[in-house]
Amino acid sequence: MGNAAMALRAAHVRTGADRYSGIAAELKALVERVRELEDEARSSMHELHSTDPERFVRCRDGHEPWPGEIPAGFIPRHTCKDECLYHDRQVLDAIMQCTCGRPPCRACEIGGKL
């Protein structure tokens, strides 16, 4: 959005057309509203992290929806398709992080892809 604002200012300076400054004012108001929404979301995440850190991790890892998301449309993240750092990427230090022996993930169970 910063690039768009700069382009609108440049267009106004070069052409003198007021329509560019009007659009720039609208864009500025939109950017301010987006920042407010980002702050609200960030505050909500910080609150969840401090009040229920285990749920925060489940949401972060894609096992359950974030508070405020529509649960009916939630699909768990496919964790069984994650590559194993040890076997797939040959990261020798990652032997303790091997995920190859895990059962199918919850998304596969729900989707019936067992």
Cβ(31)–Cβ(4) below 8 Å = no
Residue-wise pLDDT tens digits, 10-23: 888 899 888 888 89
Q: What is the pLDDT of residues 49-67, one digit of tens each?
A: 999 999 999 998 888 999 9
- The pTM (predicted TM-score) of the whole model is 0.57
Is the pLDDT reported for residue 113 higher than 60?
no
| Cβ(80)–Cβ(110) below 8 Å | no
Q: How confident is the model at residue 99 (pLDDT cuts 50, 70, 90)?
A: low
